[in-house]
Amino acid sequence: MSEENNQAAGEATKSGIGHMEWLDLTVDDAAGIRDFYCSVVGWESSDVSMGEYSDFSIQQPGGDTVAGICHARGCNAGLSSQWLIYVRVASVDESAVRCRKLGGKALDGPRRMGGSNFCVIQDPAGAVMSLLSDVSPRLRKGAEMTSPGTPHSIGEGLDDWIGCMTVNDAYAISEAVADLGRMSMD
């Protein structure tokens, strides 16, 4: 690999591009499936209020949050019952266009999901994954994304982030307002 390629690969790693950030499962009976996996795998869970119902944050025994199990309701209603991996990209919109040009499909989105852009894609073989990119270019620094409710990596800062309905929008808005204030002082 050339020095230029090594440098580009290092920059992508620092930015978080290509990083697998989250894993969740959307099903009709989230409580029943949560109980199944907690029993079979040994995971623990905690409720994440969705208003009229709760989704579930899944943790390793006594440890980090590793996944979410969500009800197939609201913006999750159209997702198939399978584990869905979330991968960081530079631009969800650009990646969705490339996906379609290469014979894939955008099954959900691109759309806004809290403080991120989001899209579920299907490759030409039929496999699916979710793509995430930041709304604010300032947040594309990967390692700096540790604010409460901001997806960063499996097990880091995800206790309040499950699927599309639990990203802390108030925090994201307050950060955006703070950014505007800082930019006006520059």
Spell out the alpha helix ranges (H) of 87-145: 92-101
The ranges of the chain with pLDDT < 50 are 1, 5-6, 8-9, 12, 138-186
Instruction: Mark out the alpha helices in the chain (DSSP H runs).
Output: 3-15, 30-41, 92-101, 169-185
Q: Which CATH architecture has domain 3-185?
A: Roll (3.10)
**pTM score, whole prediction:** 0.64
Cis peptide before 151 (omega within 30 of 0): no
- Summarised one tens digit per residue, pLDDT across range 1-34 is 455 544 544 554 556 899 998 899 999 999 999 9
Domain ranges of the chain: 3-185
All residues at 6 or more sequence positions from 97 whose CB lies less than 8 Å from its CB, including other chains:
none
Beta bridge partners of 12: none
